[in-house]
Amino acid sequence: MAATHHFDANKLFNFEGFTCVVTGGGTGIGLMASQALAANGAKVYITGRRTEALEKAAKSHDPDKGGKIIPIGPCDVRKKEDLERTVKELESKEKYINLLICNAGVPGPKAEPEHDDAGDLKAKLWENESVEDWNETFSADVTSVYFTTVAFLPLLQAAVQPKGPLPRFAASVITISSMSGLMRHAQGHFSYNAAKGATVHLTKLMSAEFQRAWIRVNSIAPGYFPSEMTAKSSDDNQKSALPAEKVQEKGHVPAMRGGRDEEMGMTVLYLAKNEYVNGQIIAVDGGVLNSVAGA
């Protein structure tokens, strides 16, 4: 039984000794997750395609004490050879990892289904999207999540007893899906929303199949958070801004603002530490799914 002092937040969310990997960790949600983990003692390896972005993020946001943010790569998660190279590099540095966050992704093409006339509707969608666009979106947002997770399975299992120091289900994967994969509103992003819906289901499949290796898999489904995907750019510290007015214009966000970095960080820490949570999709969306029809 737990005594009251066991519920101290500093103990519940102490990540000293944790080793984590975050894909797409140089900006946006990936960087928020990395900051939250490192601030609480974790060693966090961030990877992505842009070495400069990774190095800037690590330099700007490495904590003064406790954990550390370390760039590694570059790595294009759509390429198995890049994933294998990154895993081998990590194996030369670490005996195991406790947490993998699959965050890297792309927004895909946009074409608003705004016409009532079927001919006009076809023209808008047909001319503004391509099979290649769809394939690229699924490759980055679904296929890469699967192969990234598979690539790191041995390093994750190495953290688990009897050979590793941690109890069963202490090692885990967090996929970053989206509220867009849980709604019927296309938002003009058919390929992205369909891909994120696939990521949601992939998460459930992996959680059920990989629990035999004592590895948990959960997903965070974010709403509007400041990132290069929503704000189109980052500043010199690899951070993006999302003014509340821009979110309010959408008309379906009860919170009337975008999510805060700290709110994403809280969710990451919870899923990473709670060993009794497996196969869950947690929407952090400011109440959007209360306003928009669900899938």
Catalytic option among 43, 196, 239, 273: 196
Angle between helices 28-39 and 51-61 (to 10 degrees): 40
Q: What is the pLDDT of residue 64?
A: 83
Q: Taking the CB of residue 262, how many other CB atoms lie within 10 A of it?
A: 10
**What is the average pLDDT across 147-171?**
94
Confidence of residue 212 (pLDDT cuts 50, 70, 90): very high
The tokens describing 199, both together, are 């990521």
**Rounded mean pLDDT of 280-292?**
96
**The pLDDT of residue 231 is above 80:** no
Phi then psi for 35, rounded to 5 degrees? -60, -45
Structure confidence by residue, pLDDT tens digits, 48-59: 999 999 999 999
Could you read off the pLDDT of 14-62 as tens digits, one per residue? 999 999 999 999 999 999 999 999 999 999 999 999 999 999 999 999 9
Q: Reply yes or no on whether the pLDDT at 239 is more than 80.
A: no
Q: What is the pLDDT of residue 237?
A: 81
Could you give phi then psi for residue 82, rounded to 5 degrees? -65, -40
96 a catalytic residue: no
- Is pLDDT of 228 > 80? no
To the query of whether residue 192 is one of the catalytic residues in this protein, the response is: yes
Active site residue 196: yes
The average pLDDT across 283-291 equals 96
Domain ranges of the chain: 4-291
Predicted confidence band at 5 (pLDDT cuts at 50, 70, 90)? Answer: very high
The predicted pLDDT at position 188 comes to 85
Bridge partners for 175 per DSSP:
102, 219
* 12 neighbors 4 (Cβ within 8 angstroms): no
Residue 134, pLDDT above cutoff 90: yes
Residues 73 and 84 sit within 8 Å (Cβ to Cβ): no
Contact 200, 219 (CB under 8 A): yes
- Through-space distance between the first and last CA atoms of the chain, rounded to whole angstroms: 40
> What was the pLDDT predicted at 166?
85
Does residue 219 have a pLDDT over 80?
yes
- List pLDDT tens digits, range 79-116: 999 999 999 999 999 999 999 999 999 999 988 888 88
Sign of CA dihedral 268, 259, 138, 51: negative
Catalytic residue among 45, 56, 172, 192: 192
Q: Say how far residue 183 (Cα) sits from the centre of its chain.
A: 18
- CATH superfamily, domain at 4-291: NAD(P)-binding Rossmann-like Domain (3.40.50.720)
The mean pLDDT value for 118-125 works out to: 93
Higher pLDDT, 246 or 295: 246
The pLDDT assigned to 58 comes to: 93
| Active-site position among 177, 180, 207, 227 | 177
Phi and psi for 182 in degrees, rounded to 5? -120, 10
**Strand arrangement, sheet containing 281-284:** 68-71, 43-47, 19-23, 99-102, 171-176, 215-222, 281-284
Mean confidence (pLDDT) of the chain: 94
* Rounded (5°) CA angle 45-48-53: 90
What is the distance between the alpha carbons of residues 144 and 55, in angstroms, rounded to a whole number? 23
> What is the Cα–Cα distance from 91 to 24, expressed in whole angstroms?
20
User: Residue 115: what pLDDT?
Assistant: 83
